[in-house]
């Protein structure tokens, strides 16, 4: 890829967002009912390749069970309100109604007032286990050493270590950094880790033994990482680069396949479809579900970046409600803006281009529209 000169001392390469690329129809089409959307990671099989992001506005124990019934893997944030408060419902309602000027300080207060409670973590996992669903939980890299082994030993099926940017080579002068490779090896469950956005960073994460890597910084609609610390990689380029790392690691490891999971910047079904076209195996979305009338955030949406105690890099957004979680996932849709029936949209896109499943769909032709 040709570098572009920013100035005399700095060169850069062109990156593309999902808005700047499009999918090209092929010579073959098929019936949408003849298309498969199933996704398998490790020993777990799901009817859709969609994950609900570990955000308090999106996933609660109740919505995790609801989404599981729709074929979606919902990831519960152990460091969120559900891991700190016995009954967070009044707090979720309060956050949804706060004046914009007061919301960030109040969220910082609520999330720091109580530490993560190990007994509550065990209780949440037990509640999901009793419901008979695949239990996926998330922790930050900072909380992983404490919470991931606890979650694994008490019934969690999948652990997600999710941060704005996660590396396999963290350097710290104040505390012992997490040795991801050793840590993942010692856990008895598959681990998904991220975010990352470059070929090299993804390759290093794949070498740790992760079952999947998250691409992007998460919380696309609600985070302000670019505004605060200037870091951003357009998602179409990021997903395609990490997909190339997956191919290279497959050769390097002698056949070990690591799943590429797009995370963030997918506010509508068209963005989700383009993520698969760029090479993703699955998509982790937040704002899409936050618009549901039965979402925990009650129309408000925020991620973990929004309540960071020292440097918030996210905002609470108020979303216009569109329908129930069931309608958001599987329709029927009552709008033409890509906010409902996201799985139907993926089926239609694959059928229109002649592909039978998301893995095949990664080969679809694309064009740059910018």
337-363 confidence digits (pLDDT tens):
999 999 999 999 999 999 999 999 999
Label residue 202 by pLDDT band (50, 70, 90): very high
User: Domains along the chain?
Assistant: 19-368 (3.20.20.70)
Write down the H helix ranges in the chain.
61-69, 89-97, 100-113, 118-130, 144-153, 180-186, 199-206, 225-229, 235-253, 269-277, 287-290, 325-330, 342-353, 358-361
- Predicted confidence at residue 136, as pLDDT, reads 98
Lowest pLDDT segment from 1-5, 20-24, 303-307: 1-5
110 vs 225, higher pLDDT: 110
pTM, whole model, 2 decimals?
Answer: 0.95
Smallest CA-to-CA distance from 80 within 303, 296, 289 is with: 303
- The half-sphere exposure of 68 on its side-chain side, counting CA atoms within 13 A, is 19
Label residue 199 by pLDDT band (50, 70, 90): very high
Mean pLDDT confidence for 89-102: 96
- Predicted confidence at residue 174, as pLDDT, reads 53
CB atoms inside a 10 Å sphere around CB 155: 15
Label residue 171 by pLDDT band (50, 70, 90): very low
Mean pLDDT confidence for 269-291: 97
pLDDT above 70 coverage of the chain, percent:
95
What six digits make up the tokens of 17? 């967002």
């Amino acid at each position: 890829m040709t570098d572009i000169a920013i100035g005399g001392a700095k060169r850069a390469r062109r990156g593309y967002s999902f808005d700047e690329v499009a999918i090209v129809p092929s010579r073959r089409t098929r019936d949408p009912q003849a298309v498969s959307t199933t996704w398998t990671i490790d020993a777990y099989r799901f009817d859709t390749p969609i994950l609900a992001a570990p955000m308090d506005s999106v996933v609660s124990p109740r919505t995790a069970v609801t989404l599981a019934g729709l074929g979606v893997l919902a990831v519960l944030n152990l460091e969120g309100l559900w891991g700190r408060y016995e009954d967070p419902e009044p707090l979720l309602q309060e956050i949804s109604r706060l004046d914009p000027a007061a919301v960030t300080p109040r969220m910082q207060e609520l999330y720091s007032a109580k530490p993560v409670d190990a007994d509550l973590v065990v209780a949440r996992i037990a509640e999901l286990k009793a419901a008979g669903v695949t239990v996926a939980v998330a922790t930050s890299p900072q909380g992983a050493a404490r919470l991931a082994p606890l979650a694994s030993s008490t019934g969690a099926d999948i652990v997600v270590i999710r941060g704005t940017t996660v590396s396999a080579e963290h350097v710290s002068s104040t505390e012992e950094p997490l040795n991801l490779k050793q840590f993942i090896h010692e856990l008895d469950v598959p681990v998904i880790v991220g975010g990352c956005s470059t070929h090299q960073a993804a390759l290093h994460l794949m070498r740790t033994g992760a079952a999947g890597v998250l691409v992007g910084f998460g919380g696309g609609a609600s985070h302000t990482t670019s505004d605060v610390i200037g870091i951003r990689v357009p998602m179409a380029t990021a997903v395609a680069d990490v997909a190339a790392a997956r191919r290279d690691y497959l050769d390097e490891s002698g056949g070990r396949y690591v799943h590429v999971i797009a995370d963030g910047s997918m506010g509508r079904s068209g963005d989700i479809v383009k993520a698969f076209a760029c090479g993703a195996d699955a998509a982790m979305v937040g704002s899409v579900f936050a618009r549901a009338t039965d979402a925990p955030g009650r129309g408000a949406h925020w991620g973990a970046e929004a309540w960071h105690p020292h440097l918030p890099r996210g905002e609470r957004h108020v979303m216009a409600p569109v329908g129930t979680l069931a309608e958001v996932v599987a329709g029927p849709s009552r709008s033409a803006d890509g906010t409902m029936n996201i799985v139907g949209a993926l089926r239609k896109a694959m059928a229109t281009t002649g592909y039978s499943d998301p893995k095949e769909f990664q080969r679809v032709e694309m064009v740059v529209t910018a």
